[in-house]
Structure 1
Amino acid sequence: MDKHAHFFYALRLPEEVKQVMNDHFKSFKNNLPFGSWVHHEDLHITLAFLGSAPEDILSSSKRLVGEAINGFSSFSLEIEQLGFFGKEDSPRVFWAHTGEKEELKLLRNKVYNACTVAGFKLETRPFRPHITLARRWKGTEPFVMDKASDLWKRIQEGPIKFQAEEVVLYQTHLERSPKYEVISSYRLK
Structure 2
Amino acid sequence: MADTMRAFIACEFPKNIISAIGKVQENLRSYRLKVRWIRPENMHLTLKFLGNIERKVAQRIAGTISESIKGCGPISISARGIGVFPSLKRPRVLWAGLAGGNDALRKLHRNLESDLERIGFPKENKHFKGHLTLGRFRGKADPKQLIDAIEAFEGFKTEAFVIDHLILFKSELLPAGPLYSKLAQVTF
Tell me, in whole angstroms, the C-alpha distance in 2 between the residues paired with 1:88 and 1:152: 15
The answer to whether the aligner puts 1:102 opposite 2:103 as a matched pair is: yes
Q: What does residue 162 of structure 1 align with? A: 161
Q: What does residue 141 of structure 1 align with? A: 142
- RMSD of the TM alignment (CA)? 2.5
Contact 1:75 / 1:165 at 8 angstroms: preserved in 2? yes
Tell me, in whole angstroms, the C-alpha distance in 1 between the residues paired with 2:40 and 2:123: 26
TM-score when normalising by structure 2:
0.84
The answer to whether the aligner puts 1:21 opposite 2:21 as a matched pair is: yes
Q: What does residue 93 of structure 2 align with? A: 93
Identity, % of aligned pairs?
22
Whichever residue aligns with residue 173 of structure 1, its letter is: E
Tell me, in whole angstroms, the C-alpha distance in 2 between the residues paired with 1:163 and 1:71: 16
DSSP-derived class of the 2:26 partner: helix
Q: What does residue 111 of structure 1 align with? A: 112
Pair 1:119–1:139, CA change in 2 (3 A): closer
Tell me, in whole angstroms, the C-alpha distance in 2 between the residues paired with 1:87 and 1:37: 18
Contact 1:95 / 1:131 at 8 angstroms: preserved in 2? yes
Q: For structure 2, which runs of at least 5 residues remain unmatched after alignment?
A: none
DSSP-derived class of the 1:128 partner: coil
The alpha-carbon deviation at position 55 of structure 1 amounts to: 2.9
Pair 1:115–1:147, CA change in 2 (3 A): same
Tell me, in whole angstroms, the C-alpha distance in 1 between the residues paired with 2:186 and 2:163: 11
Q: What does residue 172 of structure 2 align with? A: 173
The answer to whether the aligner puts 1:36 opposite 2:36 as a matched pair is: yes
69-78 or 101-110, which deviates more: 69-78
Tell me, in whole angstroms, the C-alpha distance in 2 between the residues paired with 1:179 and 1:162: 25
How many residue pairs get aligned? The number is 186
Pair 1:35–1:111, CA change in 2 (3 A): same
